Structures are given as C-alpha cells and as structure tokens.
Chain A
C-alpha cells in the first residue's frame, strides 16, 4: 500500500508538550490506510480465485503420476525427451522472431505517430487499436482465408503476375509469424508510442542547437530516450508469445509446435493432467525468470524515469 500523506511524526521527534492528539491522529492515519486497502480488496480476491488458486492446484497436479501418487516423472520426462527440448526451443524462436518483426514494423510506426499532431495521432491510434475490438479467433481465421493456397493473396499475386505457382503462406512458420505479428503489434506500439510522446521536444531542439543533424539527434537523443518503452513493449510481446495458443495452432498447421499446444494435446488426447501441469509450471517459471532478469538487467525504474526528465 502506498503511504498516505498524513503527519506521522513519531514520539521521538515530538516534544513532550506536542503530544496533543497524537494517538487520535495516528488512529486516523491507520483508518485511512485501511480504507484505501479495502478499495483494492475485490481485485485481490479475484486474483486469488482465478490466478493463485488454479496455479497452485496445477503446481500440485504436476507432481502426481497417472496413478495419483507423488512422483517427479512429469519433470523427468521433460529433461529426458528430446521432443520437449525441441518444443521449448521452437517456442522461444517463434516468440523471439515475432518480437523482432514487431519491433521492425512497430517502432517506425510509433515514431511516425509520435511526430503527428496529437489529435491526428489519436485518430491513427484508433486504427492501431481497431483489431482489439474483433475476436482473436475471427482475426486468425481471417488470416487463414487470406493466406491459404487458393486464398485472396495467392490469387491476387498470380493475377498480376508476381508469382506463377501458389506460394505456401500458411500452415507453416511464415503463416504463424504473420498472424502472431498482427495480433501482437498493438502491444508493442502502445508503450513505444507512450514513451516517445513523453520525450520533450526541447531535447531534440537542444541537440540540433548543439550541432546534431536530424539523424544524429535521433540516434543520440531520441532513440535512447525511447528505449524504456521499446523494452517494455518487447517484453510484453515476447511473454505473451511464449504462451500463445490459438494463432500458432490455427496458422501453424501442426508444423509449428509451441508449449501451449503440447499442453493442449496432453489433456485433449492423453488426459494426462500431470504432464500438462508440469509443462505449464515450467513455462511459467521460465517466463518469470525472463521477466526477473530483464527488469534487473534493464533497471526498469531508472530507464522509465529517464523518459520523463524535467
């Protein structure tokens, strides 16, 4: 809980004659903190019920064998079987690629938006956010329609003679990446745009005044100041990708297997809750480790503070 701005001088700093109302004031401060805390208790309760309890339950399940006894075989299998290592590597590769492509597309777009007048930028931002208003599943199947062998893009490409044979755009890595990048892009653009907007234009004026060409001013001043947003956005995209299921499942056509899909198979095909839970736990732990390392290495507080120098 955040501190409440109330006088909270201890007895040490108060002179003997200054103890008037001391206890009452302390009680008031305590009550105020309690009221503030109770404001967020519904949210806390919700998090407890839909997050903490199920995850704890999964954690418990992951240590149970098919006969219901305590065992480590679910984890043992992951270490021993090469297919699991491949799935994890696959997941990380796809996530990294998606993040990288999102940066390449999203950063310039966010930069463009940040240079527009605020009103125009807000309008453009709506178009960036528009996909959020459509169901994820609908968008994914829409890509399937667009990208398939006899889909809009192949037909069109062949009509105007860009290529002769239908090219394979879906049910492979390409299709998966196209879909995932499309879904993830707003998650990158939003924080990047936010941190770019927070950059005082005077910094760029100062850079120009001190002799920096527009290119130099961008790389030496603007880009470093936009990094906090870029890191935040990349991390969000990467972490979301790690657990992504629908889009890779539909557009990957079984060629791209992510951890989430293996979890689904374990349950749907083999009814093996223990194995599925163990995978989930490992994915969760890896994600937390990545977040932890990233926030430590990138010193988030300092970086975020950097964008708003006064």
Chain B
C-alpha cells in the first residue's frame, strides 16, 4: 500500500490568511520533506488547523503558494488534490458500512469491484480491523472508528496524508497506544504526513520534525529534541513542557541571575532580554546544607512550600530567595524519596550547566 510514485514534498511559501484583522496565517514559509512526519503544534487559535485546511483545500488563503512536489495546488479544488485526510471527528459516513466507507475513494476513482474489495480488506487489515467490513459505523468504538478513518484515508495510496488531531477524542491509554501505531504505519507506508495537534507530548512522541505555531507564524521548526532542549523563545519553551523562567542579565559574555553567575554551556546569539528556563525534571534536590562547588553545576537556594504525590513521580513546589516559585520533579523510586525534606525546610536546587538553557523573552 505504499504510495505510487513515492511520497511528495510540500513547499509552502508566503501562505497568508486573515480573518478580519486577525492573521490565522501570517506569511508562513515551510518546507515539508518527502516522507517526513511533520507535526504542526500550537495552542487553539494558533493557525495550525487553518494551515492544514489550506493544504487540504477547504480554506483558500489570501495569497501564497502551496506546492505538492513541483505542482502548484493552491487553486486546485479539494477533490482534485489526491491526499488522504483523517478528520478530528473522523467524518465516517453514517449511512455506509465500514467497507463502503473505505471503498468510497476507490469507487470514485473507478477501481474495479474485485480489486476494490481486495484493497479495502487489505487496508482494514493494516489498521487491524480485518473482518469488520460489514459493521455499521455506530457499532464501532471510538478507537475502531479512528482506525476506519485511517483505513479510508490510506486505501487509495495517497502520497500525502493529513491528520487533524485524530486522537483527541480517545482516552489517554488508547491515545498513547495509537501514537505508536500511527508512527509505525507512517514508517511502513512512507507517505508524507502532516499532523496537527495541541498535545506537546504527542508531537514529541511521533514527529520527525515539529513546527511550533503561534499567531499564524512558525515559532520554531526542528526535531523533537531540538524543540525541547533548545527552544527558540519563551513561547516555545513554555508550550513544550512545564518551565519556570528567571530573568537573566548578560554582561561581557557572562550570564547573571540575581547577582549569581550562571555556568552556561552555550549562550544564545542575541543577549537581550534573556530568561533562564528551569524544567522541573532537570533540577536536582540537595537536602544536606553543604555548599556545592562544581564547575558544571549551578545551585539555587530555596525553601520547600508544598509537595504533590503523582504516583510515578512527585512535584515539589519550592520558593527561591526572591520568592519565585520553582517546581522540581523527582521520581518516586525508594532511594529518591527516602530522604525528602519537610515543608519549610531549606534546600538547594542543582542544575547542570548543560541543562542551563537561556531563551529569548520575546517571540521573534
């Protein structure tokens, strides 16, 4: 079921769409590589869905160019774009059986009946729903509907697959299982996939690259690792993972926080308005009062405010000397919780210089 002629790259140039004075898309340039799993990640109203709708052809941009391979398609109507799409609510036709739903794109393409039947069964088997063809849609569970929608989107071997938050209606366990399955399916079929989600963990789990989108612009484009470890600005850092931000001043190539020199692996290019990003899981709790002297570790004095137990991990809310609240996450392994401080105790928060990341305060 690999796409005939191979996957296609997508080239987006200057894509702009304004609703009144709000820019849903603001001059977006984006290159999606052939066969890549690209996730458009952003909060609701960021423009990620608009961008997907522009790719699918349901929304006409004000101006801009969209190319599938070498073909300019910005003025092509949706039914001539030949791309698979999984809708957020699946949009399975309720008056058709599972098999009729999956056969729908084949019928429109004039595929002969025996061949269509065979390909439908094959597509259903790919999504592990072999033998479900005669079921009615309302007899299926949410997860099964999701799979049928997927089968319908891949059965005609499109070279591009779009997915609009396809897992958002599933419960957490099923969602995590489907993330892995979708990713495997992508690797097996090899089409270019554009995936829209607001769930940062989902994006990190599944993507080759992530485009973080806000206010109709691409805030950062990179691999999951780059996005998480080296966020381009405060928005990206804040949206991907939980963080606390501390104001930092830079003088003569040395970063300072509240008079304390920070050991930083790498200073960003621009040194105006920088923030120190503190991720809860990167901080280490030091409970004995000894002074930390280590070239590669920054230490901050804090006092414990509150502790929350979450099963696999715990969250400790602490306050720095200036009152800023900083959260520390620790695993609940026995050796890590054997010596936890009590509320009100003074502690130190240790941060390795490699994890000491400075981000730009603005969005630029």
- A194: interface (CB < 8 Å): no
Q: When the two chains form their complex, are residues B79 and A209 in contact, meaning their CB atoms are under 8 A apart?
A: yes
Is B56 a contact of A209 with CB atoms below 8 Å? yes
Quick check: is B63 within 8 A (CB to CB) of the other chain?
A: no
Which residues of chain A (90-139) have a CB below 8 Å from chain B? none
Chain A CB count within 10 A is highest, among B95, B137, B156, for B95
Count contacts between A and B, CB distance < 8 Å: 73
The interface stretch among B81-89, B200-208, B341-349 is: B81-89
Asked if residues B77 and A224 are in contact (CB atoms below 8 Å), the reply is no
Indicate if B257 sits at the interface (CB-CB under 8 A): no
Which residues from chain B contact A220 at a C-beta distance below 8 Å? Answer: 104
A243 close to chain B: CB less than 8 A = no
State whether B108 touches A309 (Cβ < 8 A): no
Q: Which chain A residues border B89 with CB–CB below 8 Å? A: 200, 202, 310
Tell me if B309 counts as interface (CB < 8 A to partner A).
no
A213-B79 in contact (CB<8A): yes
Q: Which of A213-245 touch B at CB < 8 Å?
A: 213-214, 216-217, 220-221, 224-225
Write the chain B residue with the least CB distance to A210. Answer: B105
Are A309 and B56 closer than 8 Å at their CB atoms? Answer: no
**A309 to B109, alpha carbons, bound, how many Å?**
26
Q: Does B91 contact A (CB under 8 A)?
A: yes
A255 within 8 A of B: no
The answer to whether A207 touches B83, judged by C-beta atoms less than 8 angstroms apart, is: no
Q: Does A60 interact with chain B (Cβ within 8 Å)?
A: no
Max count, chain B CB within 10 A of own CB: residue among A202, A216, A217: A202
Interface size class on chain B is 20 to 34
- Which chain B residues border A307 with CB–CB below 8 Å? 94
A211 beta carbon closer than 8 Å to chain B: yes
Chain A nearest CB, measured from B333 CB (Å): 40
Chain B residues near A166 (CB, 8 Å)? none
Separation in Å of the A203 CB from the closest CB of chain B?
A: 6
* Complex-state Cα separation, A224 to B93, whole angstroms: 10
Judge if A65 is at the interface, Cβ distance under 8 Å: no
Bound Cα distance A272, B179 (Å): 78
Q: Are B85 and A206 in contact (CB under 8 A)?
A: yes
Contact indicator A306/B79 (Cβ below 8 Å)? no
B 132-158 to A, binary, CB cutoff 8 A, 1 in contact else 0: 000001100000000000001000100
**In contact, B138 and A309 (Cβ under 8 angstroms):** yes
A210 contacts B152, CB within 8 Å? yes
Main secondary structure of the interface of A (DSSP, over half): helix
Minimum CB–CB distance for B111 against chain A, Å:
11
Question: Which residue of A has the minimal Cβ distance to B58?
Answer: A205
Q: Is the CB of B78 closer than 8 A to any CB of chain A?
A: yes
Q: Does A56 make an interface contact (CB < 8 A)?
A: no
Contact of B87 with A212 in the complex, beta carbons under 8 Å: no
Give CA–CA (A214, B77) in the complex, Å: 10
Q: Cβ of B120 < 8 Å from any Cβ of A?
A: no
Please tell me if B277 contacts chain A, counting CB pairs below 8 Å: no
Given the known interface contacts A208-B79, A225-B95, A306-B95, the answer about A202 and B108 at a Cβ–Cβ threshold of 8 Å is no
Known A-B contacts A205-B58, A211-B108, A211-B109; the reply to A306 vs B94 at CB < 8 A is yes
Residue B262 interfacial (CB < 8 Å): no
Partner of B77, one of A202, A208, A210: A208
A209 in contact with B137 given A221-B93, A306-B95 (CB within 8 Å)? no
Contact B94 A209 (CB under 8 A): no
Q: Is the CB of A205 within 8 A of B87?
A: yes
Q: Is the CB of B108 within 8 A of A209?
A: no
Q: Flag whether A305 is at the interface (Cβ < 8 A).
A: yes
- The verdict on B92 contacting chain A, using a C-beta distance below 8 Å, is yes
Asked if A211 and B95 sit within 8 Å, CB to CB, the answer is no
Shortest CB–CB separation between residue A308 and chain B, in angstroms?
Answer: 8
Which residues does chain A contribute within 8 Å of B108, judged by CB atoms? 210-212, 216
Closest 7 CB pairs of A and B: A309-B94, A206-B91, A210-B105, A202-B91, A208-B78, A211-B108, A208-B79
Q: Would you list 26 pairs from A and B whose C-beta atoms are within 8 A, ordered by A residue?
A: A200-B89, A202-B87, A202-B89, A203-B91, A203-B93, A205-B78, A205-B87, A206-B91, A206-B92, A206-B93, A208-B57, A209-B57, A209-B78, A209-B84, A210-B79, A211-B108, A211-B109, A212-B79, A212-B108, A225-B94, A225-B95, A305-B94, A306-B95, A309-B92, A309-B93, A310-B138
New A-B pairs, 10, CB < 8 Å, besides A216-B79, A309-B92? A202-B89, A203-B93, A205-B78, A206-B91, A208-B57, A213-B79, A225-B95, A306-B94, A307-B94, A309-B137
